[in-house]
Amino acid sequence: MESFLDFNITSKITLDASISLMKYVAGVVLLVLISVIFMRLKLVYHDIKRKKFLNIWRPILMESIAHTPNKLPRLNKTYLQDFIAEWNSLYEKLGGISHDNLISIAARLDIHRHSAIMLISSHPRIQLTGIVTLGNMRVKSSWELLASIAQSDQTILSMAAYRALILIDGDRALEELLPILIKRSDWPASMIAKILKDTDNYKACELMTEACDNASKDNLPRILKYINALNCQNASKVFKRILTESHDDHLYSLCLQKLNDPSAIDIVREFTTYARWHVRVNAAIALGNIGAEEDIPVLEKMLSDPQWWVRYRAAQSLCKLPFIDTQRLNSIRSKHNDKFAKAILDQVLAEKELAS
Amino acid sequence: MISDFFQFSQVFFTIYFIALHGAYLILNALSIISIRRYMEEHSVNNLPKVYTGLEIPISMLVPAYNEEVTIVDSILALLQMNYPEFEIIVINDGSTDNTMNVLIEHFNLTIFPEAYRDRLKTKDVKNIYISKQYRNLRVVDKENGGKADSLNTGINISRFPLFCAVDADSILQVNSLEQIVQPFLEDPKTVAAGGTVRIANGCSINKGFVTEANLPKHPLAIFQVAEYLRAFLFGRLGWSPLNALLIISGAFGLFHKETVVSVGGYRTDTIGEDMELIVRLHRVLRKRKKAYKITFVPDPICWTEAPEDLKTLRNQRIRWQRGLSESLLRNRELLFDRNGGVVGWVAMPYMLIFEWFGPFVELLGITTIILGFTFGYISAEVAIIFFLIAIGFGVLLSTVAVLLEEMSFHIYSKPWYVIILFFAAIVENIGYRQLNSIWRITAMFQELKGHKPQWGHMKRNASWNDS
């Protein structure tokens, strides 16, 4: 204890340690300065060279939109990544015949081979570029490799691989990789919906609705989201089954959102008084899509719902029904005693007027 | 006895400074790992940009108080955001200038019979307007109640599941919403996300967007550029992977509306409503044992004007310190709470010891060493070493922040800016940082004396080049 309190000794140790530490700190700061300068010089140098390189290749790629050039200059491999990035960026912007021309140029420059090598890189950024390029070039021979990446744990890479497979052979990817698609909870639904838009809608809807039959409780909401995003016309049977057999509020909401089958009207009506307001909101939306004359009193009642969103959607649905005009809406408004119902109808009527 | 005191102080302060900078260095290391991973995964965004309707719609809330000069340009820029579905809600917080008339005139506003619902209690709403020209623009005219009250009003009126709190003078990028929404798309547990704020002084601005990033001319603003780099790239990026981020800047943040409403919205009786909300989200969600994520997006997506005079800067820093203090005090239950996790056991104590109490220890240390040296209790050598440690580590951290910027976004295209920035990162540690500490201590004394926090009025210089 005494020696601990001997500040002279402690100070001496602290002092010596501090001096050594400061030497290291000064050294590291110097190293940081050198690194910053070196990185900036490298960046500037690469930028100049890159611009020069792209000045040659950009016009060639642009020209290829109209027709494939007969002769191509030699591709400097140092700027392979820049070329591929430029090629992909142009590819994403364009469509139709220009895609074929771009693919033909890339094939002549052996880009598919280079991209396949990129898949084994340790840098995800390079791997991602390779995956995207192989997909855009429709390289069938990379199928196995891409399929294994689609099953890997890495979210972005696996999703990019899935998209590449969809581009290479949409039908095959849909069929073979459906079990993976259904299980992947880490793939953002909006991104997958984008990817699925590139497939044959009929086929995708058919597979998705079939998948609902055996889907687990965890996976079913995700499939329903995809069905809704794809606007599947064949889903009403599935929706009706879930609405009558399931006991899950979230599933009810998902099914009611896009239900467009008048034969389901009785089922929908049952949900207009459901305990959870999220379900009532979607029931109000469904009534706007398939409601009949006798649903007007139901929607009128919903205008007094304690939840704002239920009132709002009910008012919107009333306005949307084809057999109801502004005059009738005004009469509903005037006979309603509830101030909340009047307020929400005023709002929706004003919105309707603004839109017209 | 006096000699022992100075000897003890010398050891205590040296160890404190080493511990403080050691903690910073750990955050540094975490940030470097995070930024490398982030750049690898997000720098090549080759996935298609076609909107499908499954993107989460966003309500942008823009509180405005006496912003007649800048409000139109700010809103016009926000209307150009690249995002499939968003609405803009401007909340005129009882401005005493011509803000409301400027808005009515420029955006062709008309009174709209909105069925207003006050889920969060706020000052009275006078009128709600809708733009005939831009259907996704609404303006709420309300009694003055402060920024937090305005944001709560915006939350009440917003239609979409996510809301984005934006300062009326924040300059965003066209893709800011696309970038800040990513954490919500990648992980549905996300309840809040914040982005990097950069200094707009000196930059070239065209039609409300930054077209070229330049360094400001005023030294005070240059120091703030270096300071912001350090604060955002380490302070926030380091905590994010630990899910222990305690600050999302009020200038630009995205939130899950229902979660924010469930914790009571913004507190109107605090000056640091942005930080307080984040700390409360951590506290309440941890108490509810709910899985959640609060994420930081390192992309430079929001630009703001920095004060170029000492008075405005002093007021700003006093407000920040009071905000920090109130946020920690009002959520003290989280500190060392059984369910506190990394936030309660690491981030909160760190904030308390190094950020809240740090300035006090720092200045006390410097004063003690100077006194000890003056009266001959501490040798010149020891005093010099002490200052070298206090400043040396700061220099190291600030310069590494510049390196991190160079490794990732390198937004300053002119090479000499990087050199200026590097030297600014060194010089800001001598004088500027200590001045900040004095202001922060002033804030603590003001709080002890029970001074009510005052809303600061930013003295605007618009020292960017509007083309």
Q: Locate the chain A residue with the closest alpha carbon to B10.
A: A11
Q: Identify whether the C-beta of residue B115 lies closer than 8 Å to the C-beta of residue B89.
A: no
Least confident of A22-31, A161-170, B59-68, B147-156: A22-31
SS3 content of chain B, % helix, strand, coil (to 5): 50, 15, 35
Return the percentage of chain B with pLDDT > 90, whole number.
Answer: 50
Indicate yes or no: CB of A7 within 8 angstroms of CB of B11: yes
| Token pair recorded at residue B176 | 């800011």
Residue A34 has pLDDT above 90, yes or no: yes
A124 falls in which pLDDT band (50, 70, 90)?
A: confident
Task: State the smallest CA–CA distance between residue A165 and chain B in angstroms.
Answer: 13
Task: State the smallest CA–CA distance between residue B47 and chain A in angstroms.
Answer: 7
Residue B126 has pLDDT above 90, yes or no: yes
Task: Flag whether residue A330 sits within 8 Å of chain B, measured between CB atoms.
Answer: no
Task: State the smallest CA–CA distance between residue B454 and chain A in angstroms.
Answer: 36
| Token pair recorded at residue B48 | 């298609």
The rounded distance, in Å, linking the Cα atoms of A15 and A32 is 25
Residues in chain B closer than 8 A to A311 (CB atoms): 115
Residue A148 has pLDDT above 80, yes or no: yes
Indicate yes or no: CB of A25 within 8 angstroms of CB of B392: yes
How many other CB atoms sit within 10 Å of the CB of residue B71? 26
B233 falls in which pLDDT band (50, 70, 90)?
A: confident
| Token pair recorded at residue B163 | 């809301």
Residues in chain A closer than 8 A to B403 (CB atoms): 32, 35-36, 39
Give the sheet arrangement for strand B209-212, strand by strand. B209-212, B204-206, B465-466
How many other CB atoms sit within 10 Å of the CB of residue A172? 14
Residue B13 has pLDDT above 90, yes or no: no
CA A172 vs CA A166, A188, A198, B312: distances in Å: 8, 22, 13, 64
Residue B92 has pLDDT above 80, yes or no: yes
B106-115: burial string, b at 16+ Cβ within 10 Å, e else? ebebeebbbb
Residue corresponding to tokens 């690469």:
A46
pLDDT (0 to 100) of residue B84: 83
For B423-442, the pLDDT digits (tens) are 999 999 988 999 999 999 99
Read off the pLDDT of each residue in B213-229 and give the average, rounded to a whole number: 93
pLDDT (0 to 100) of residue B464: 55
Task: State the smallest CA–CA distance between residue A343 and chain B in angstroms.
Answer: 5
Task: State the smallest CA–CA distance between residue B453 and chain A in angstroms.
Answer: 36
Indicate yes or no: CB of A40 within 8 angstroms of CB of B135: no
- Candidates B11, B37, B52, B131: best to mutate against A (most CBs of A within 10 A) is B52
Read off the pLDDT of each residue in A38-61 and give the average, rounded to a whole number: 91
Residue A17 has pLDDT above 80, yes or no: no
pLDDT (0 to 100) of residue A101: 86
Residues in chain B closer than 8 A to A159 (CB atoms): 47
Task: Flag whether residue B255 sits within 8 Å of chain A, measured between CB atoms.
Answer: no
DSSP state of B15: H
B43 falls in which pLDDT band (50, 70, 90)?
A: low
A3 falls in which pLDDT band (50, 70, 90)?
A: very low
pLDDT (0 to 100) of residue A8: 59
A90 falls in which pLDDT band (50, 70, 90)?
A: confident
Name the residue with higher pLDDT: A259 or B54.
Answer: A259
CA A335 vs CA A64, A327, B174: distances in Å: 68, 13, 48
pLDDT (0 to 100) of residue B449: 85
Least confident of B26-35, B65-74, B338-347, B393-402: B26-35
Q: Which of A7, A191, A312 sits opposite B7 (nearest CB)?
A: A7
pLDDT (0 to 100) of residue B18: 80
Task: Flag whether residue B135 sits within 8 Å of chain A, measured between CB atoms.
Answer: yes
pLDDT (0 to 100) of residue B53: 53
CA A57 vs CA A83, A137, B87, B287: distances in Å: 8, 18, 41, 59
Give the sheet arrangement for strand B86-93, strand by strand. B109-111, B125-131, B137-142, B86-93, B58-64, B162-166, B252-256, B190-199, B293-304, B171-172
Return the percentage of chain A with pLDDT > 70, whole number.
Answer: 95
The rounded distance, in Å, linking the Cα atoms of B49 and A194 is 8
Name the residue with higher pLDDT: A7 or B67.
Answer: B67
Task: Flag whether residue A191 sits within 8 Å of chain B, measured between CB atoms.
Answer: yes
A4 falls in which pLDDT band (50, 70, 90)?
A: very low
Residue B329 has pLDDT above 90, yes or no: yes
Return the percentage of chain B with pLDDT > 70, whole number.
Answer: 93
pLDDT (0 to 100) of residue A5: 42
Return the percentage of chain A with pLDDT > 90, whole number.
Answer: 54
Q: Which of B11, B113, B403 sits opposite A10 (nearest CB)?
A: B11
For B411-421, the pLDDT digits (tens) are 888 889 999 99
pLDDT (0 to 100) of residue B459: 53
B8 falls in which pLDDT band (50, 70, 90)?
A: confident
Task: Flag whether residue A19 sits within 8 Å of chain B, measured between CB atoms.
Answer: yes
Residue A6 has pLDDT above 60, yes or no: no
pLDDT (0 to 100) of residue B457: 53
Q: Locate the chain A residue with the closest alpha carbon to B18.
A: A18
Residue A252 has pLDDT above 60, yes or no: yes
pLDDT (0 to 100) of residue A10: 59
Residue A16 has pLDDT above 80, yes or no: no
Q: Identify whether the C-beta of residue B304 lies closer than 8 Å to the C-beta of residue B221.
A: no
Name the residue with higher pLDDT: B14 or B431.
Answer: B431
DSSP state of B254: E
B53: left (phi over 0), alpha (psi -120 to 50) or beta: left
Side-chain half-sphere exposure of A93, counting CA atoms within 13 A: 9
A71 falls in which pLDDT band (50, 70, 90)?
A: confident
Q: Which of A11, A36, A343 sits opposite B7 (nearest CB)?
A: A11
CA A300 vs CA A293, A297, B218: distances in Å: 12, 5, 64
Q: Locate the chain B residue with the closest alpha carbon to A340.
A: B115
Task: State the smallest CA–CA distance between residue A127 and chain B in angstroms.
Answer: 10
- Candidates A4, A15, A80, A197: best to mutate against B (most CBs of B within 10 A) is A15
Residues in chain B closer than 8 A to A128 (CB atoms): 41, 44, 46
B46 falls in which pLDDT band (50, 70, 90)?
A: very low
pLDDT (0 to 100) of residue A96: 67
pLDDT (0 to 100) of residue B54: 58
B191 falls in which pLDDT band (50, 70, 90)?
A: very high
Q: Identify whether the C-beta of residue B277 lies closer than 8 Å to the C-beta of residue B325.
A: no
Least confident of B122-136, B177-191, B210-224: B177-191
The rounded distance, in Å, linking the Cα atoms of B35 and B51 is 27
pLDDT (0 to 100) of residue B48: 46
Task: Flag whether residue B112 sits within 8 Å of chain A, measured between CB atoms.
Answer: yes
Residue B150 has pLDDT above 90, yes or no: yes
For B353-412, the pLDDT digits (tens) are 988 988 888 888 888 888 888 888 888 877 887 788 778 888 988 999 899 888 888 888
Task: Flag whether residue A199 sits within 8 Å of chain B, measured between CB atoms.
Answer: no
pLDDT (0 to 100) of residue B451: 75
pLDDT (0 to 100) of residue B347: 94
Q: Locate the chain A residue with the closest alpha carbon to B412.
A: A40
The rounded distance, in Å, linking the Cα atoms of B176 and B392 is 36
Name the residue with higher pLDDT: B228 or B379.
Answer: B228
Task: Flag whether residue A253 sits within 8 Å of chain B, measured between CB atoms.
Answer: no
SS3 B391: helix
pLDDT (0 to 100) of residue B52: 47
| Token pair recorded at residue B8 | 């003890």
Least confident of A22-26, A221-225, B122-126, B337-341: A22-26
The rounded distance, in Å, linking the Cα atoms of A318 and A346 is 12
Residue A2 has pLDDT above 80, yes or no: no
B30 falls in which pLDDT band (50, 70, 90)?
A: confident
Nearest residue to A311 via CA among A354, A346, A356:
A346
Task: Flag whether residue A145 sits within 8 Å of chain B, measured between CB atoms.
Answer: no
Averaged pLDDT of chain A: 88
pLDDT (0 to 100) of residue A353: 84
For A271-290, the pLDDT digits (tens) are 999 999 999 999 999 999 99
pTM, to two decimals: 0.82
